[in-house]
């Protein structure tokens, strides 16, 4: 029996798990996929928003601004990359200039610091590749860029080191409160029992909520798909700030931004769909985003695209985070409808839900809570002399597996053997960047598979791209039947 079960190991569930790990409580995270960061948290713009978008006074606005403020300390403690590169909302129609003032005023009400409205000349001086049509811009120095995988993985790892149990490949199928007053959670891997439940199931948070809520309190989460193009590092400095168009009722629009690892990202679109697993891109979506991005940034080097992908926002009609105890379901906490800026808000969501449960359960702090963790060691951060020393001590750091990103066998071994270690190609990719480069894993996949096979004792047929049925080797070839794989 657990004190708290969290459903979902995305950035919300992982942040809540880390906050709860500060206290004396028996906590477990149930995740239907084979790793953390398999839902929306793995496919977004990776922007730490300043906080001028959300309606003044909303929970979304408060958690956005608080999450943004928490990011420096959190990223330092968890050893993950974060850069305050600043963001600009660009106006390209003179008649739309008052819209910048509205955003500025809302930002001030939300507590965003340092906002400034720029003239056309000031904006172009800061970003020479803005469209020739630029009329002005809203500049937010607190806007930033982050690695969404590292944020989610680091919070989960740190929670795990502090005693939180993670059960992967465990899908919640039904939840009932029994006569014993406890929550009984049926999964594909048997029943779990808990005093408190937190629903952090992303696009499925409505489905989970509806398992326990009253008939007149059902919620519907609409997957709002966003397509992206990711461009090569060669053109990562086409802009240095995150460049947004003026927002519409469908969201913040198609942005152009450097990533924290030096690529350029362009996207997302905003298309409401029915399929909660519908993360396919479409030609129409990609063409649409390219056209829109070109409205506010010129000479976009779209021939340098290395991959495209899509993510699903957990959109709810009220466009507000739903966080709190479900009416008529005591001890069941929703963390639902966490659409953008959910990544930015995640540390604040963790803090809020952690404090809520601390009060409700009367939790006491752990004396020996570990607040920091070290990321997978990156030899690229070392001097040549230090790297040579490292390779002398451990030759695996001299064996380059991913040529595009210069990732060594040593880093992959670290990713596999650390807490909540990688078990699939994507698990290795998100922890080390092996396979994230220009060739998109064409060269390193077989080599990474060899390492997974050797280190985890997995048969080649058992190794997957990202768990489930994403096997890479299906069977032996005709000539090799019964022979070598
Ligand atoms: C296109 C797009 C762009 C975005 N850009 C930004 C941005 O730049 N900045 C920003 O701040 N935010 C952004 N966001 C929002 C942000 O990505 C999300 O708010 C955040 O990732 C949501 O995290 P989560 O943990 O709530 O959900 P998820 O990451 O989806 O995690 C939910 C988890 O629950 C698991 N789960 C679901 N059902 C079950 C079940 N029955 N049993 C067990 N496990 C289950 C899933 O497998 C998943 O791992 C963007 C989102 C999208 C889609």
Please compute, for residue 301, the number of CA atoms within 13 A of its CA located in the half-sphere on the CB side: 17
pLDDT given at position 481? 54
Q: Is the CB of 316 under 6 A from ligand 1?
A: no
Measured between alpha carbons, how far is 7 from 167 in angstroms, rounded to an integer? 10
Do 439 and 408 reside in the same domain of the chain?
A: yes
Sign of CA dihedral 280, 285, 289, 290: positive
Residue 247 in any domain: the answer is: yes
E strands of 151-269, at which residues? 165-167, 172-177, 183-187, 190-199, 222-231, 242-244, 255-258, 264-267
- Residue 484 has a pLDDT of 55
Nearest CA among 370, 394, 371, 373 for reference residue 382:
394
CATH code for the domain of 415: 1.10.10
Q: Check whether residue 387 and residue 411 sit in a common domain.
A: yes
Cβ–Cβ contacts within 10 Å for residue 44, how many?
Answer: 23
3 state SS of 140: strand
Asked if the peptide bond before residue 268 counts as cis, ω within 30 degrees of 0, the response is yes
Does residue 1 lie in a domain region?
A: yes
Residue 6 near ligand 1, beta carbon < 6 Å? no
| Distance from the Cα of residue 174 to its chain's centroid | 26
* Residues 331, 259 share a domain: no
- The residue from 315, 348, 364 where one domain ends is 315
Domain with 247 in it: 87-141+222-315
Q: Domain check: are 260 and 329 in the same one?
A: no
Identify whether the C-beta of residue 21 lies closer than 8 Å to the C-beta of residue 162. yes
Cα(370)–Cα(245) distance, rounded to whole angstroms? 41
Per-residue pLDDT of the chain (485 residues; tens, 9 = 90+): 999 999 999 999 999 999 999 999 999 999 999 999 999 999 999 999 999 999 999 999 999 999 999 999 999 999 999 999 999 999 999 999 999 999 999 999 999 999 999 999 999 999 999 999 999 999 999 999 999 999 999 999 999 999 999 999 999 999 999 999 999 999 999 999 999 999 999 999 999 999 999 999 999 999 999 999 999 999 999 999 999 999 988 889 999 999 999 999 999 999 999 999 999 999 999 999 999 999 999 999 999 999 999 999 999 999 999 999 999 999 999 999 999 999 999 999 999 999 999 999 999 999 999 999 999 999 988 999 999 999 999 999 999 999 999 999 999 999 999 999 999 999 999 999 999 999 999 999 999 999 999 999 999 999 999 999 999 998 877 666 555 55
- Give the SS3 label for residue 147: coil
Calculate Rg over the CA atoms of the chain. 23
My answer on whether 448 and 347 are in the same domain is no
Same domain, 6 and 65: yes
Place of tokens 């899908």: 171
The secondary element (H helix, E strand) that includes residue 296 is helix 283-296
Q: Are 76 and 167 in the same domain?
A: yes
User: Are residues 263 and 127 both part of a single domain?
Assistant: yes
Q: Which of 343, 350, 353 to mutate to test the pocket of ligand 1 (most atoms within 8 A of CB)?
A: 343
Provide the token pair at 402: 């991913």
CA of 228 to the centre of ligand 1 (A): 16
CATH number at residue 308: 3.30.9.10
Residues 3 and 64 in one domain: yes
């Amino acid at each position: 029996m657990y004190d708290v079960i969290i459903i979902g190991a995305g950035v919300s569930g992982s942040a809540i798990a880390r906050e709860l790990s500060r206290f004396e409580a028996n906590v477990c995270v149930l995740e239907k996929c084979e790793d953390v960061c398999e839902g929306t948290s793995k496919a977004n713009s990776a922007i730490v928003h300043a906080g001028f978008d959300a309606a003044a006074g909303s929970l979304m606005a408060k958690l956005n601004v608080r999450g943004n403020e928490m990011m420096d300390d959190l990223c330092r403690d968890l050893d993950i990359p974060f850069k305050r590169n600043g963001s600009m909302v660009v106006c390209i129609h003179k008649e739309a200039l008052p819209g910048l003032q509205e955003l500025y005023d809302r930002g001030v009400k939300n507590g965003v610091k340092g906002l400034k409205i720029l003239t056309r000349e000031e904006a172009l001086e800061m970003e020479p590749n803005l469209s020739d049509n630029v009329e002005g811009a809203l500049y937010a120095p607190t806007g930033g860029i982050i690695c969404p995988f590292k944020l989610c993985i680091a919070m989960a790892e740190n929670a795990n080191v502090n005693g939180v149990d993670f059960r992967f490949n465990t899908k919640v199928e039904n939840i009932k409160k029994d006569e014993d007053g406890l929550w009984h959670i049926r999964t594909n891997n048997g029943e779990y029992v808990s005093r408190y439940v937190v629903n952090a199931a992303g696009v499925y948070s409505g489905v989970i909520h509806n398992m326990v809520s009253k008939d007149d309190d059902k919620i519907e989460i609409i997957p709002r798909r966003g397509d992206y193009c990711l461009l090569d590092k060669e053109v990562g400095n086409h802009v240095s700030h995150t460049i947004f168009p003026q927002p519409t009722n469908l969201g913040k629009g198609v942005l152009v931004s450097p990533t924290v690892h030096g690529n350029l990202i362009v996207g997302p679109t905003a298309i409401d769909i029915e399929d909660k697993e519908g993360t396919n891109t479409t030609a129409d979506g990609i063409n649409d985003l390219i056209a829109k991005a070109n409205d506010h940034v010129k000479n976009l080097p779209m021939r340098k695209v290395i991959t495209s992908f899509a993510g699903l926002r957990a959109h709810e009609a009220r466009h507000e985070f739903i966080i709190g105890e479900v009416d008529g379901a005591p001890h069941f906490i929703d963390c639902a409808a966490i659409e953008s800026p959910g990544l930015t808000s995640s540390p604040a969501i963790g803090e809020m839900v952690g404090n809520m449960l601390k009060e409700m359960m009367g939790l006491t702090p752990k004396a020996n809570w570990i607040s920091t963790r070290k990321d997978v060691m990156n030899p690229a951060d070392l001097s040549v002399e230090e790297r040579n020393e490292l390779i002398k001590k451990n030759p695996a750091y001299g064996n380059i597996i991913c040529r595009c990103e210069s990732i060594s066998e040593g880093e992959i071994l670290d990713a596999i053997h650390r807490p909540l270690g990688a078990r699939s190609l994507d698990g290795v990719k998100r922890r080390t960047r092996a396979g994230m480069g220009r060739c998109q894993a064409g060269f390193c996949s077989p080599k990474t598979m060899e390492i997974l096979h050797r280190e985890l004792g997995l048969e080649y047929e058992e190794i997957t791209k990202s768990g489930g049925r994403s096997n890479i080797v299906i069977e032996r070839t005709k000539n090799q039947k019964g022979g070598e794989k």
